[in-house]
Amino acid sequence: MRRCCFSFLFLLLLVFYQLDGMASSSSSGSSTTPLKKPKANVLSPQDLLSFTHYLHTCPDAEGIIQNKVRAWVKKDYTLAASIIRLHFHDCAVRGCDASILLNHRGSERRSEGSKTLRGFQVIDEIKAEVEKRCPKTVSCADILTAAARDATILIGGPFWEVPFGRRDGKVSIAREADTVPQGHENITALIHFFQARGLNLLDLVVLSGSHTIGRTTCRSIQTRLDDGRDVMMPHSSSLLLNATYMRVLKRKCRRSYDHVDLDATTPRKFDNEYYKNMEKKMGLLSTDQGLYTDARTSPIVQALATQPDLFMNQFAVSMVKLGNVQLLTAKNDGEIRGNCNFVNPPPP
C-alpha cells in the first residue's frame, strides 16, 4: 500500500510539471491580445546533436571511449564516480563544453571547488587515442559526456544513448567553478542552481542519486561529525545524523584527508540504497539528508527509495538533460581541441 502511495505521489508530481509548463506557455497571451504571425522554427543547440554525428568521420569513437573507461575502472572502481562527477562539474559551469578540462592559471580546474576532482588522466588517454584515429574530429566535450555514461554502466547503472556534436569552449574561469554545490547548501539554493541550467526538481533529486557510488574526504564532512549537523545550517536539527552511523564515521575519519563512502550500505553498486539511507538519517552530506526532510523533494525521495526501476529509468533521462545543458554546436561556436588541456593555438 505504501509503495502504491509513493507511486501515486510521484505521478502527481510529473503531471504537475507538465501542467505547469502548459500554464506558463499559455499565460503569456489573453483573449484581448491579437494573434501574431507564427515565427519560423529555430533549432536549439541540442537539436543539432546526432546519434550518427561520427558515423562516417570517426566510427570507432564510442568504442575507444568505452574500452578506455572500462580499463581504468577495472583498475580503480572509484574512478566511475569521479568521471560522472567531472561531467557534472563541466556541465554546471558554462554548459557541457569541456571547460573543466582546460588546465591553465585561473581556470575552473584550478579553482578551490575543483581540487578534489579526478578522472582527467582518463579523458586525456581517450583523447590521445581518438586523435590517432580521427585527428581534429571528436570534441573533448563529447568524450567526457560519453565517458560518464560508460562509467555509469560499468558500476551497474542504466544505459542511455548519447547524441554527439558538442564543441569545446575556449573560456574557463576559476571563480565560476566555485559556484558549483559542494554539499553544504540548503535545498532552495540547490533548486535555484538546477533551474538556472534548465533542470527541474525531479532532475535534482535523481541526479543526486549518483551519490549511491563515490566517496568524499573527511574534511568535507567534519562539521557534520561535530554534532551531526552542518556549520552552514546550525539550526537544522532535522539534518542530524544517525548516532550509530556518526560513531562509525568518526572511527573512519581519523585524518582530514581520509575518505568515506557516500553510500554506507552498497558503496560499490549503483542502486537506490542512497535514498533508503536518508530514511535512516544516513545521508552523508547535509544536502543529501536535506532532500529527504524538505517538503518539496521528500515525496520524490520516498518514491525512488521504494522503486529501483523508477530510479534507473529516470536517471538515464536526467543524465541526457544534463548532457544537453548550454551547448556549443554551431561551427562558429567553440572548437574541436587537439588536446583537452589547452585551447588550440591560433592559425599561423
Q: Which residues are catalytic?
A: 89
Taking a C-beta distance cutoff of 8 angstroms, is the pair 320, 121 a contact?
Answer: no
Give the residue among 88, 104, 47, 81 at the shortest CA–CA distance from 343: 104
Between CA 301 and CA 242 the distance in angstroms is 18
Element (H, E) at 336: none
The residue assigned the cell 541550467 is 197
Q: Are 120 and 107 in contact (CB under 8 A)?
A: no
Listed as own residue / partner, the contacts of 189-197 with beta carbons closer than 8 Å and 24 or more positions apart are 190/287, 190/290, 191/296, 193/92, 197/91, 197/92, 197/95, 197/325, 197/326
